A = this chain, B = another copy of it.
Amino acid sequence: MERSFVVKGDFCYSLGKEELITRENAYLVCINGSVEGIYETIPDRYRGLPLEDHSHKLIIPGLVDMHVHAPQFPFRGLGMDKELMDWLWSYAFPEEGKYMDPDYARDAYREFVRELRKSATTRACIFGSRHVEATEILMDLLEESGLITFVGKVNMDRNAPDYLKETSAQASVDDTRYWLEKVRNRYRRVKPILTPRFVPSCTERLLEGLKEIQADYRIPVQSHLSESPGEISFVKELCPWASFYGEIYQRYGLFGGPGCPTIMAHCVFSNEEEIALLKNNGVWVAHCPDSNMNISSGIAPIRKYLDGGLHLGLGTDIAGGSTLSLFRTMAQTIQLSKMYWRHIDPQYKALNMKEVFYMATLGGGEFWGNTGSFQKDFAFDAIVIQDDRIAGSRDRNLEERLERVIYLADDRNICAKYVAGEKLF
């Protein structure tokens, strides 16, 4: 039996948004890459399996990054004093333009993938650039890395510099079909995802073309939604017919529903109609607190979404966000929810540790099905954390140790990583 073994250690995982399970000094049995069960002692029938002994270390499901721009990795932490449009034109667009050159793309993406592999993230939904070749290079590198990802060649045929935007809606559609054919069945771990940048970057003709591609290929979709007031006004100008932003994606079949799993990043300022549609269509909201602060967007009403039953995950949103660390993203999610409660609306109480841990694991993981937990038959994605290196963690219970990891751990604390039962390190 490949990818079958027993792992010993201290386990934490979510059953749902309110239920955290902790199992100290236990044995998890992984069979063919999936969790078979967690036991106090190894059942006789599994005694022949190899043992991975991580005694006294914390083992949690691999974290899921629902929104990250790979080509923006080289300039994270830069230009943060600029307004969104100025930042896009002076940093994001010029950098993305460089991915026209496959050699540049290979070097830059190698760095991104290396850092992502070292991080606590096991799965991610990734924006590439609009270039087919660079996007393939990214997919090749990710396949090699052992991580499981969705990767999108970006569509953008307006409101960008000539060196970056696609020459027409048709060219964008053609390139996308060409790319989808090239990568079809090429990877075991990497899957394509349709990636219209956002409404300001995509003409309705382009969205119409993407609708047909989605109908033909039945692949998932990712984009941005209601990130900031300025963007929302601009969208209103561009599509006056729409009563709210999300309705535009909806019209073009790019907004969830059967056969179209969809992730929308941000949703900071979604109105009630939009929230209802997000829920009704089962769209995932990717909450990106670091970016929402850096880009001066605002604080998203995550408590409302969580209690309202929306699909929710976390995103680092490199380079609006500056770090790949989802530990940091979890802490920031709690922190911003406290500021929302304090300064915006006290009816929405702060999120707690269990809730953000759920979002970073099972909440996002469900985009892949049984992922993001150690429940039976879930893919065995896990990170092993040597948390005794965090001063003061002696004699803490598992829940306390998990909380400290969220606030204090970084990649130095990660001593092993598994994705669908494959050990990356």
Residue ranges of A at the interface with B (Cβ–Cβ < 8 Å): 73-81, 108, 111, 115, 290, 293-294, 296-299, 322-323, 331, 334-336, 338-339, 341-344, 350, 352-353, 390-392, 396, 400, 403-404, 406-408, 410, 412
Contacts and interface: CB of A to CB of B under 8 A. Distances in A.
Contacts of A336: 293, 339
Nearest 10 CB-CB pairings of A with B: A77-B407, A74-B392, A293-B335, A296-B338, A322-B407, A77-B404, A81-B352, A77-B408, A111-B391, A298-B342
Contacts of A78: 396, 400, 403-404
19 contacts: A74-B391, A76-B407, A76-B408, A77-B390, A77-B406, A78-B400, A81-B334, A108-B392, A115-B391, A294-B335, A296-B338, A296-B342, A297-B342, A298-B339, A298-B343, A322-B408, A323-B407, A343-B343, A410-B410
A5 to B, nearest CB: 32
Nearest to A298: B342
A403 B392 CA distance: 31
A56 to B, nearest CB: 19
Nearest to A390: B77
A3 to B, nearest CB: 31
A108 B394 CA distance: 12
Contacts of A353: 80-81
Contacts of A404: 76-78
B111 A392 contact: yes
Contact of A343 (B299, B331, B400): B299
A401 to B, nearest CB: 9
Which one of A75, A81, A115 has the greatest number of beta carbons of chain B within 10 Å? A81
A338 to B, nearest CB: 4
Contacts of A81: 334, 350, 352-353, 403
Given A115-B391, A344-B343, A338 B293 contact: yes
A406 B77 CA distance: 8
Given A80-B334, A81-B352, A115-B391, A293 B407 contact: no
Residue among A290, A299, A343, A391 having the largest count of chain B Cβ atoms under 10 Å: A391
A407 B325 CA distance: 12
Contacts of A79: 403
A44 B296 CA distance: 50
Nearest to A334: B80
A108 to B, nearest CB: 8
A408 B76 CA distance: 8
Contacts of A339: 293, 298-299, 336, 339, 343
Nearest to A77: B407
Contacts of A80: 334, 353, 403, 407
A266 to B, nearest CB: 14
A392 B296 contact: no
Contacts of A400: 78
A198 B134 CA distance: 58
A395 B298 CA distance: 32
A95 B403 CA distance: 17
A403 B74 CA distance: 13
Contact of A403 (B77, B298, B334): B77
Q: Which of A290, A299, A339 has the most CB of B within 10 A?
A: A339
Nearest to A406: B77
A286 B336 CA distance: 21
A302 to B, nearest CB: 14
Contacts of A352: 81
A299 B78 CA distance: 24
A73 B393 CA distance: 11
